[in-house]
Amino acid sequence: MVPGRADLNFRLQGAVYLLADAWAAEAWDSDLERFHLINDTGLLSLPELCAVGRLVWPDVAFDGDGA
């Protein structure tokens, strides 16, 4: 079965929330300042990853996100 646009959008939203939650937990547990290196973007693009980073670390500037 080929995923439709709605399924892909659902997966993208899920990826964003899971990543934000994981980064927030890691930031809380071990004083993670921010991400510094992305080796493979996979489902999310670099600007999308930086947008997730801004959710977790709102006062930090992210390079390469165009924002």
Cβ atoms 11, 43 nearer than 8 A? yes
| CA-to-CA separations, 24 to 21, 30, 39, in angstroms, rounded | 5, 10, 20
Cβ–Cβ < 8 Å for 57, 27:
yes
**Is the sign of the CA dihedral 8, 21, 38, 47 positive or negative?**
positive
Contacts of 5 (CB under 8 A, 6+ apart): none
pLDDT at 2 over 60: no
pLDDT at 55 over 60: yes
| pLDDT score of 27 more than 80 | yes
Each domain of the chain, given as residue ranges in start order, spans 5-56
User: What band does 6 get if pLDDT is binned at 50, 70 and 90?
Assistant: low
Query: What confidence score (pLDDT) does residue 21 get?
Result: 93
Residue type at position 20? A
Q: Summarize the confidence of residues 36-54 as an average pLDDT.
A: 79
Give the pLDDT score at 1: 46
